[in-house]
Homo-oligomer: A and B are copies of this chain.
Amino acid sequence: MTSVTVPAAEGRAVDVASGQRIRITTPRGHQAADFFAYNAADVSEWLSPMHTWVTTRSVKPRPGDQFLSRYRRPMLTIVEDTAAGCHDMLIAACDQKRYEQFGFEGHHRSCSENLAGAMQARGHVVAVTPQPVNFFTNTLVDPEGALLSPPNPVAPGAYVEMEALMDLICIVSSCPFDLKVEGWTINAPGGVSELEVSVA
């Protein structure tokens, strides 16, 4: 088994062979985990929520659902979820521009930068940041289509576990979002925290 700690606001890549399982845990709870997956044999093929939800017909990932790539091929199956379905697939990965738009000055860590750095370390340039799956992230679409982000209720120790359906490079980013934005809560009020990733 491989275990990796993703420090608060950082990102890490792990290899997950077909048939292996990857588990992502939020030890302190309430920590959004931006998740990206690439076909290890062809990184032009990446996990795509938009192609996934037209097949599962759910904008929320649920146990038994398969995540599809942008080529509509199965990449992973969700096998276990102790976060009661509190996951999001709608919020674009945060990036430097996002923080600037909220008024932040200077460099701010972001999930886009964490992804790019983790892939760069393996020799891959990320030209297009895929839409992530945001585990442990609380969003809701109301009947009029409004996208809401209520406070994050995920308990300490909650995890999701997935089985790989092809050889994958998976990237997990501890979302660095720490701004106080009215009606747009992402992480715990206490701040950004680490994630644990294990592959077996």
Residues of A within 8 A of B (CB): 44, 48, 50-51, 53-55, 57-60, 70-72, 85, 90-92, 95, 97-98, 101, 127-129, 131, 140-141, 143-148, 183-184
Contacts and interface: CB of A to CB of B under 8 A. Distances in A.
Contacts of A128: 70, 128
A141 B70 CA distance: 21
- Which secondary structure dominates chain A's binding surface? loop
B53 A71 contact: no
Contacts of A58: 144-147
Contacts of A127: 44
A144 to B, nearest CB: 7
Contacts of A90: 50, 53-54, 59
For the complex of A and B, 10 pairs with smallest distance between CB atoms: A60-B145, A141-B141, A50-B92, A72-B97, A59-B145, A51-B92, A57-B147, A58-B145, A50-B131, A128-B128
Contacts of A85: 145
Contact of A97 (B53, B60, B71, B145): B71
Contacts of A146: 57-58
Contact of A59 (B44, B70, B141): B141
Contacts of A184: 57
B48 A92 contact: yes
Given A59-B141, A72-B97, A147 B92 contact: no
A183 B54 CA distance: 12
A143 to B, nearest CB: 8
A131 B146 CA distance: 19
A52 to B, nearest CB: 9
Contacts of A101: 55, 72
